[in-house]
Amino acid sequence: MEQGVRAQLRLWWALARPFTLTAAVVPVLVGTALAAEDGEFRWLPFLAMLVASALIQVGTNMFNEYFDYRRGIDHVSSVGIAGAIVTGAMAQGVVLAGALATFAVALCCGVYLITVAGLPMLIGGVASALAAFVYSGGPKAVSSTPFGEVEVFVFMGPVIVGLAYFAQAERLPWDVVVASLPVSCLVAAILLANNIRDIEGDAGAGRRTLPIALGRERGLRAYAVLLYGAYALLLAAVALGAAPPTALAAVVTLPLARRPLGLFRRFRNAPQLHPAVKATALLHARFGLVYALGILLAGAF
């Protein structure tokens, strides 16, 4: 009995794809750091925003698993999936129910945030949930088009950073949007890395992701632009006064960008490239944490 429960928990943990959760957590931390720097930090809105953002990411991962299985994209040998459905370990309806349940709990957090910060939180929350659903669901999933990276760039950068700031400050200065752009680059790079890794399987399934539309070499150039563009935009944000000089501490993560780019240039096989995707996610997480801490340091002095 106990072993069965543990096995089920491991399945749900795998479906959550924990290594992707930093993509949802980092923008909230950056938005909160910017709010704290401006003297606007509030614990409960921060925690509600953090939980809601993480749960929407988990729900999106589950929707992705469900819809990719339904469309015949995922199979037993696919890399980067939980595999709960394709291996028969979990019924597809159960995965769909799990996705809907996580969205329901995120909605409860959203209701609280609306009572705290008003109508803009409702608009932003609904837009974020809708974007999360259409990314994998609907008649034409955004994830199967060249626009997935654009959606991720916008919603997991300016939108989440902006909502995290607004939930605490009830306003949104222009500099918050500018300060969010380095995060946008790296989170879009995670998706592009994933799509470059899966280029052969996705093409065979009829998808037309960005690296399929551009070609692998141009896709790699776009990936490099996103990786190093994050640091260029960090310098620009500091130069424009959108981020404090202490935020430049995030530059220490720059050497980490070499490893995933090198792996993509060296290998083409999907299993060999999975570490490159994880390394991109790790770069985003470390950059974001140091960036947020750098912003907080400015508020401490």
Q: How far is CA 88 from CA 39, 94, 202, 240, 263, in A?
A: 51, 12, 22, 53, 32
- pLDDT for the residue numbered 205: 81
- pLDDT for the residue numbered 1: 53
Among 62, 65, 33, CA closest to 49: 33
pLDDT value at 23 more than 60 = yes
Query: pLDDT grade, residue 20 (50/70/90)?
Result: confident
Calpha distance 43→48 (Å, rounded)? 9
CA terminus-to-terminus distance, the chain: 55
Number of helices (H) and strands (E) in the chain: give both, helices first.
Answer: 13, 0
- pLDDT for the residue numbered 267: 85
**What is the fold, at CATH topology level, of the domain defined by 2-300?**
Farnesyl Diphosphate Synthase (1.10.600)
pTM above 0.85, yes or no: yes
Structure tokens at 212: 């399929």
Q: How far is CA 281 from CA 16, 159, 186, in A?
A: 15, 19, 8
Q: What is the mean pLDDT of residues 83-109?
A: 88
Mean pLDDT score across all residues of the chain: 90
pLDDT value at 263 more than 90 = yes
pLDDT value at 109 more than 70 = yes
